[in-house]
Structure 1
């Protein structure tokens, strides 16, 4: 059998090893291997490589209908999946109630650069709670993040879209979450080549507000964001996530940050307040942390307790961790936790280790406000 006949032999079905491929492909051309023989050799190598690839198992090429089918199946197969009831996207210019297509483009700068801001409004008994206050804050955050509004959008249009999305969801108790993004268009750092910013909103089914249970917190070892970023509600939440994970790993609900001067700052997604033995309600200044809409509302509502004589005063104060741990009562305040009493911070028991009467009074005030407060904080949703 001559050399050409040898090259034309049937290609073995078993794949060749990487070492064999390397040796075979790097064999020098000489008198015993002319250009035609080399072409056959490369052909055999390519065929052998192809035999090692299973084209049907890991990454099939799917059509759009197959993708949609798999997205729906993926949602259905997930246990404890939140119920996403409606989503608005300015990219498509409308609302969908199909969770399988509640997606955003992979090249959106909010996804791969974290260039986006967000906020949340609770839906309670068919009303949007503090929508105007949260909407004002997301617009401030967008300005700080140098994110313009999409073309032809203004505050009133965004508000109407959010209310319309809540209406389409038919949700009477849950959350309306919404984002302003630099928008899709490329994977660069610069936003100059993007078409326009984007607005997204989604409604998530929830339950009516109820009094939270007492919790444990720890002091975070994860550095908090500097004031320029901490005071805007951006999607850059990696420090927040890591801080919360650290707490959960230590058997706590969440963590508390201290600022660069050692004063108490905030939690990863909530403000913190203290009630002293002298019945003063103290909170950290908002100059280095996020200005919580729920926290500001609690301050307004707590004036009622001052008038009743149950609180002596309400004020902002720089507090050290040692001072905070000596408080009679400690609470976390936020749209997700409402007013949650803290019973333990690190190894220190707060007060007598039980939910305090003023923490419970603040909880009752905020729940009452969410259910029957004035129109300045409750916007009725007109369901279709």
Structure 2
């Protein structure tokens, strides 16, 4: 049980002796007599009030919660962020500026994205001083914002310029740029009608490119998949994705695979999937109609043409794929900006193909890495440091 107490540094005049102790239960304050006879009033001394939350349990612990000045808050934020050097720069349209101090990389609590999930986001990789597929990711977040009915705080070119400048200020040559569009701060109501204006946030994170061709296990996710009308929006509401990932990890797997109500394979929690079938000669990818249109997956469909020209594959299809067909595939792989191309060697209790990493997944990973490091200007934007 939790009780609220008022704590005073000294006795307060006009209160009866039994209440001039240092700590009183506020539930008893209504019984405190007042010398003027007009009911209970807080005297001037109560300006020095401090509140204490006391838990009436076996430990009888008490916590003093300090009231901090703005400078004290900043000092504590700096201490809390000490050693977190991976956050290199952040832009916020709330202050209309860029900061390189991790302690200042904060969002308003009343931002509609924070307390209602009314926001969208996207990510672009930073590879050797270039932003990979920035335009493609930017187009997607603008589509997501339109579907989420979030007005743009700036036009497309201004947003792009801000993102590039944020990376430039960070000095990061290898990492990731994550950015959000939100309905903005205003109040804590359900409707965004009182939000002051939409907001743009962006942060540069120093990371190493996750190149790991080792095969992994996946499981069929039991977490309900997002409705089709929301699955194609890259919103900040990732609770189903988080629960799916936690379920997979609890079962010793790398990721969970969502299956639609009609039995077709959908996607992973933050990646698309693809299969090699028909004796290793055909690449098949589930339709993007009811799943997130992955930029890396779509780029892979372009790069795979090189495998067709070499005779490693005979055809490529985007079509409905059943779980039964997927588990019988010669190869299975996860595709996304966070995993690149990651082979899957086991789904639930069944091995995929011979239970080893396949040649097509490796070839696609090599093509993707080459494209990220030396691809055409259409997929690589140079950062002016």
TM-score by length of 1: 0.87
1:243–1:254 contact (8 Å) kept in structure 2 = yes
Aligned pairs for 1:145-164 within 5 A: 145-150=148-153, 153-164=154-165
Taking a change above 3 Å as real, the CA distance of residues 17 and 8 of structure 1, as seen in their structure-2 partners, is closer
In structure 2, what is the Cα distance between the partners aligned to 1:317 and 1:371? 30
Tell me, what secondary structure is at the counterpart of 2:218? strand
In structure 2, what is the Cα distance between the partners aligned to 1:68 and 1:281? 53
Structure 1 counterpart of 2:303, from 296, 301, 304: 301
In structure 2, what is the Cα distance between the partners aligned to 1:142 and 1:37? 61
Aligned pairs for 1:1-384 within 5 A: 8-9=16-17, 11=19, 13=21, 21=28, 25=31, 53=52, 57-76=63-82, 81=84, 83-150=86-153, 153-278=154-279, 279-383=281-385
Shift of 1:18: 9.0
Shift of 1:352: 1.2
Q: Deviations over 1:191-245 (max 9, x none)?
A: 2222210000000001145243211110000011011100111111111111111
1:15–1:51 contact (8 Å) kept in structure 2 = no
In structure 2, what is the Cα distance between the partners aligned to 1:283 and 1:365? 17
In structure 2, what is the Cα distance between the partners aligned to 1:317 and 1:82? 43
1:217–1:255 contact (8 Å) kept in structure 2 = yes
Shift of 1:14: 8.1
Tell me, what secondary structure is at the counterpart of 2:247? helix
Tell me, what secondary structure is at the counterpart of 1:121? strand
In structure 1, what is the Cα distance between the partners aligned to 2:188 and 2:231? 25
- Greater CA deviation, 52-61 or 65-74? 52-61
1:258–1:265 contact (8 Å) kept in structure 2 = yes
In structure 1, what is the Cα distance between the partners aligned to 2:31 and 2:313? 83
Structure with the bigger percentage of helix: 1
Tell me, what secondary structure is at the counterpart of 2:168? helix
Tell me, what secondary structure is at the counterpart of 1:192? helix
Taking a change above 3 Å as real, the CA distance of residues 17 and 141 of structure 1, as seen in their structure-2 partners, is closer
In structure 2, what is the Cα distance between the partners aligned to 1:157 and 1:40? 61
1:211–1:363 contact (8 Å) kept in structure 2 = no
- Greater CA deviation, 204-213 or 132-141? 204-213
Shift of 1:16: 7.0
Taking a change above 3 Å as real, the CA distance of residues 171 and 13 of structure 1, as seen in their structure-2 partners, is same
1:125–1:208 contact (8 Å) kept in structure 2 = no
Shift of 1:260: 1.6
Q: Deviations over 1:143-198 (max 9, x none)?
A: 10111111xx1111111111000100000000000001011111112222222100
Could you list the runs of 5+ residues in structure 1 that have no partner in the other structure? 1-6, 27-33
Taking a change above 3 Å as real, the CA distance of residues 356 and 82 of structure 1, as seen in their structure-2 partners, is farther
Shift of 1:122: 0.2
2:90–2:201 contact (8 Å) kept in structure 1 = yes
1:209–1:367 contact (8 Å) kept in structure 2 = no
TM-score by length of 2: 0.87
Taking a change above 3 Å as real, the CA distance of residues 35 and 336 of structure 1, as seen in their structure-2 partners, is closer
Structure with the bigger percentage of strand: 2
The 4+ residue runs of structure 1 with deviation greater than 2 A are 7-19, 34-43, 50-58, 208-213
In structure 2, what is the Cα distance between the partners aligned to 1:302 and 1:326? 22
